Structure 1
Amino acid sequence: MALPISRFPVPELAELPDDIRALIETIQEKSGFIPNVFLALAHRPAEFRAFFAAHDALMDKSDGLSKAEREMIVVATSATNGCLYCVVAHGAILRIRAKNPLIADQLAINPWKADLSSRERHMIDFGLKVAGDSAQIVDADLDAMRAAGFTDDEIWDIGAIAAFFAMSNRLANLTSMRPNDEFYAMAR
């Protein structure tokens, strides 16, 4: 019995606007399956486009934070926000990008005990503060990040990734978005 991937309607590929269908088909060709987030969010085409434009602007950069570091922030903050979909999906991506089968589980279960470098520890602690208590961020927090070697662009990216995925986590929880089974076994 196939379980639903969303509490809301999931459109058929043939029903989607051409640009969204083409993007989803490209993702399917690349990964071998369609991640459920694409199908669940396709329910609202304008929001789908905005969501993935913001996602790609934050996550596909080649300067500053590495792609693995970006995924570390997603996994740690998504776990704090109780988002099964993002922990599982981005945990798989993190395992691949970090070439480390342990790091995603460590960050998801207890980020304070994860095997992190000093740089990664500062990054994750700051990302968790943005995700969980952003009203308490003060200038001294940014000064500490600069002292740890982060540029202002990197600090912005850490905060923006944590903030974007806070929204994404809440949307995934609202829809009860189900992670694809394929993600669980990737890079183990």
Structure 2
Amino acid sequence: MSWLRVPDEASLPAEVVAFHEAPLEKLGFVPNVLVNYALRPSHLLRWNEHYDELMKGDSGLSKAEREMIAVVVSVANECAYCIAAHSAALRKLTKDPALADAVAADHTTAPLEPRVRAMLDYALKLTLHPTTMSEADVELLREAGWTDEDVMDVAEVTGMFNLTNRMASGLGWEPNPEYETLGR
């Protein structure tokens, strides 16, 4: 599950054990990212608070659009954990497994609105070529109909998944097998 020691549940603070109850009830399992990140309980709780705000908080981006960013960034970074987890989340949100699979395979050929494709193009460029970003990239998003607040959300979600991808890939975090069938 990880190249590092996986903390024993009995050794975890009560707030982390309580935190694990929600996904267990909702999904039927605790995602390995939460189990592995619990090696540093305070880091897990702060990371998750920020993650929840980005992925579920107030935004001009839908939850599905945010998951699409997660998938595209994770595919670009070849992060097996996040590809599995966020493709599953996208399938559940859209109730369209074919669309989620198409986004994961190649967002440029997926049946997406131009506005969404522009958002994903930006996220991909920021992931692969961050030093080449310019105001023109932001202007393309504005022209596609995104507000400045939306553009900031796109950049921040992209940054979150670049961080999380590196944690998962750098520490050998393995995806839960349950992700394969989730949303199918």
Superposition TM-score, scaled by structure 1 size? 0.94
Q: Among 19, 25, 29, which residue is 1:29 paired with?
A: 25
For 1:105 and 1:146, the matched residues in 2 are separated by: 27
For 1:97, the equivalent position in structure 2 comes to 93
- Runs of 4 or more, structure 1, over 4 Å off, are none
For 1:185 and 1:66, the matched residues in 2 are separated by: 23
For 2:108, the equivalent position in structure 1 comes to 112
Q: Partner amino acid for 2:106?
A: N
1:62 shift after superposition: 3.7
Q: Cα RMSD (Å) of the superposition?
A: 1.1
Alignment gaps of 5+ in structure 2 = none
For 2:179 and 2:112, the matched residues in 1 are separated by: 23
Q: Partner amino acid for 2:129?
A: D
For 2:119 and 2:22, the matched residues in 1 are separated by: 32
Superposition TM-score, scaled by structure 2 size? 0.96
For 2:24 and 2:10, the matched residues in 1 are separated by: 14
CA deviations over 1:58-97 (Å, ceiling 9, x no partner):
1012431000000000001100001000010010000111
Aligned positions of 1:58-73 closer than 5 A: 58-73=54-69
Q: Among 80, 83, 94, which residue is 1:87 paired with?
A: 83
For 2:100 and 2:73, the matched residues in 1 are separated by: 12
Contact kept in structure 1, 2:87 and 2:100, CA below 8 Å: yes
For 1:33 and 1:90, the matched residues in 2 are separated by: 15
Q: Among 144, 150, 162, which residue is 2:146 paired with?
A: 150
Q: Partner amino acid for 2:119?
A: M
Contact kept in structure 1, 2:31 and 2:176, CA below 8 Å: yes
For 2:131 and 2:57, the matched residues in 1 are separated by: 27
1:104 shift after superposition: 2.4
For 1:83 and 1:11, the matched residues in 2 are separated by: 22
Number of residue pairs aligned between Structure 1 and Structure 2: 184
Q: Percent identity?
A: 39
Q: Partner amino acid for 1:54?
A: H
For 1:19, the equivalent position in structure 2 comes to 15
For 2:183 and 2:170, the matched residues in 1 are separated by: 28
1:15 shift after superposition: 1.2
